[in-house]
Structure 1
Amino acid sequence: MKNKKRKRTERIGVLIKILNDHPNKIFTLNYFCELLGAAKSSISEDIMIAKNMLEDLNLGIIETIPGAAGGVKYLPVISKEETKKFLQDICFKLEDEERVIPGGFIYMTDIIYSPENAEMIGKILATQFINKKIDYVLTMETKGIPIAMMGARSLGVPLVIVRRDNKVTEGSTVSINYVSGSSKRIQTMFLSRRALSRGAKVLIIDDFMKAGGTAKGMTDLVKEFEGEIAGIGVLIATKEPKEKVVEEYVSLLYLENMDLKNKKISIMPNPSLL
């Protein structure tokens, strides 16, 4: 039985809702025709109206894929203007002197674990790698999980979590030893053999990078699965040391300086993203 015919405004609203809920997933025109009780020509016009509206308002991109296996998908791309406004706001919050905690760390759990912030951070990171045809997002437990999850959602791919300890619930695992870039200590990371497909294209996302030792460890771990690194994205990277143990990465923010004595923090957005 065919679904009830809908008005154009109703069809466009449903179309945008479905595409937004499933980023980077291809839907065929037939799917919307059957769901909304409309002809292909009408659905095609609806898609073009929605596409133009979202792009005019900088709310993402609706992309059409030609051919028998084609259809339409939504890419939650964030504009440079929106990126600049958000990152400047995060810098302002992180530079609060009350965030300096013993050991020379910055308290930022409340920002990372805010669903609204995590979603925006994930979208901005995903925007940098949106055309890389990524199969998985990989992160290290635990603080990077929220932003990596939102990045994976924006890309429409699974999230895989690397563990610091071997968990029985993970089944058989692959482990590697790596040298922490900051402390120079040898540590171990584990990943379930079921977690990644052989030859997969992987995006690494993490919350913080100092010398890049953890990112390098995850890179080496992906190679154990004969995988390819599509990129490395982090929320914050320190300006020093300038030379990281990973060659290429994208950081949304740079920690310029942290004066522990006077509790002064200097953080700036990555100018190349603005």
Structure 2
Amino acid sequence: MAKEAKLRRSARLADLALRLLEEPGRTFSLGQLARTYGAAKSSLSEDLSILREVFLRAGIGTIETSPGAAGGARYVPGISRERAENFVHRLVEEVTRPERILPGGFVYLSDLLGRPDILRDVGRIVAAAFASVDVDVVLTVETKGIPIAYAASFALGKPVVIARRDGQITEGSLVTINYLSASSRSIRTMSLSRRAIAEGARVLLVDDFLRGGGTIRGMQELVREFRAEGVGAFVFVEGPAGSGRVVEDVASLVKVEEIDADARTIRAVPGSIFSRAWPSSPWGGLFQIRESEGRSPKHDLTGG
């Protein structure tokens, strides 16, 4: 009998973990969970404590609970310091491969943006970095920023909206702006459906590569057209900062400091996101990577 009860609890723990992991950010009522599993709230509270310890030990986030009659639990994705360090240093090594150099001072990233293992941890890092920011929607511009936006979206449990270079008839009525590309000094256009962002929404801006910052600035201007608020900006890779950069305070995962096309070399370091601290996050301060600490041992990008 004791063995059967243990198996029932094991199944309940597995199902509860799956439920929380599949819907990050969603608060599940403790009362509803008790009815679903036919278990006492006290037993579920113990289950949640076990899962919280497992998640923290695995370095994939935590479980937050709220007390009282209307209490509940939600999964908050995150990433441990060790996993983050291993991941970013390995990513820096990937980015600095000489065959990634493209004409015009760009770096080839498409293969990295197509890997689900990389996107999974990128999403967790974004969720940790912006844990103290109340985000309603994630905004990017087609096309290469889309994988990053969806990674952030899933981890934050928030929807994605995608601005288009050319308006589509299927988008309905559009808000269109012209903006200056800071790197090429040319005028470009981005459009977004009027239904995409609600007035007053808090928007996280996401892109794949930051050079002059014109695209991020364009997204900021687009958000203002909706009478919404840009509450943060994140890019996968930040290029060398030039005198023409038009935005500040953009969190980057990797910072490329120099590209020498003749010597076929790229010099890169961990990005600005790792010098930030988030005291209200369960991961507050975990990402402060200092050169004096030395390089972390090589690990697979999954952090395993």
Residues of 2 paired with 1:161 and 1:68: CA distance? 39
Contact 2:183 2:244 in 1 (8 A): no
Give the equivalent residue in structure 2 for 1:155.
156
Change (3 A) 1:69 1:218: farther
Does residue 1:16 correspond to 2:11, yes or no?
no
Give the equivalent residue in structure 2 for 1:123.
124
1:89 deviation in Å? 0.9
Q: CA RMSD in A?
A: 1.7
* Code of the aligned partner of 2:156: L
Instruction: Please list the CA deviations of residues 31-64 of structure 1 after superposition, one character each: whole Å capped at 9, or x if unmatched.
Output: 2212211111111111111112222332211001
Give the equivalent residue in structure 2 for 1:265.
266
Q: Please state whether the residue corresponding to 1:130 is helix, strand or coil.
A: coil
Give the equivalent residue in structure 1 for 2:252.
251
Give the equivalent residue in structure 2 for 1:143.
144
Instruction: Please list the CA deviations of residues 106-126 of structure 1 after superposition, one character each: whole Å capped at 9, or x if unmatched.
Output: 211000111111222122122
Give the equivalent residue in structure 2 for 1:164.
165
Give the equivalent residue in structure 2 for 1:241.
242
Give the equivalent residue in structure 2 for 1:63.
64
Residues of 1 paired with 2:22 and 2:230: CA distance? 27
Q: Identity percentage over the alignment?
A: 42
Instruction: Please list the CA deviations of residues 168-194 of structure 1 after superposition, one character each: whole Å capped at 9, or x if unmatched.
Output: 011000011111111111111100001
1:68 deviation in Å? 4.6
Q: Please state whether the residue corresponding to 1:44 is helix, strand or coil.
A: helix
1:248 deviation in Å? 1.7
Contact 1:211 1:245 in 2 (8 A): yes
Residues of 1 paired with 2:239 and 2:19: CA distance? 39
1:233 deviation in Å? 0.6
5 Å-filtered alignment, 1:71-82, equals 71-82=72-83
1:242 deviation in Å? 6.0
Gaps of 5+ in 1: none
Residues of 2 paired with 1:222 and 1:52: CA distance? 39
Instruction: Please list the CA deviations of residues 70-104 of structure 1 after superposition, one character each: whole Å capped at 9, or x if unmatched.
Output: 31000111122211111111111121111123333
Alignment: residue pair count: 271
Contact 1:100 1:263 in 2 (8 A): yes
Give the equivalent residue in structure 2 for 1:42.
43
Q: Please state whether the residue corresponding to 2:28 is helix, strand or coil.
A: coil
Residues of 2 paired with 1:159 and 1:54: CA distance? 26
5 Å-filtered alignment, 1:63-102, equals 63-102=64-103
Give the equivalent residue in structure 2 for 1:211.
212
Does residue 1:193 correspond to 2:194, yes or no?
yes
Contact 1:122 1:152 in 2 (8 A): yes
Contact 2:60 2:124 in 1 (8 A): no
**TM-score for the superposition, normalised by structure 2:** 0.85
Residues of 2 paired with 1:227 and 1:217: CA distance? 14
Give the equivalent residue in structure 1 for 2:54.
53
Change (3 A) 1:80 1:243: farther
* Code of the aligned partner of 1:147: I
1:210 deviation in Å? 0.7
1:69 deviation in Å? 4.2
Contact 1:179 1:186 in 2 (8 A): yes
* Code of the aligned partner of 1:116: D
Contact 2:181 2:214 in 1 (8 A): yes
Q: Please state whether the residue corresponding to 1:157 is helix, strand or coil.
A: coil
Residues of 2 paired with 1:62 and 1:196: CA distance? 29
Contact 1:119 1:147 in 2 (8 A): no
1:241 deviation in Å? 1.5
Contact 2:126 2:152 in 1 (8 A): yes
Contact 2:101 2:107 in 1 (8 A): yes
Change (3 A) 1:68 1:223: farther
Give the equivalent residue in structure 2 for 1:105.
106
**TM-score for the superposition, normalised by structure 1:** 0.94
Give the equivalent residue in structure 1 for 2:279.
none
Q: Please state whether the residue corresponding to 2:176 is helix, strand or coil.
A: strand
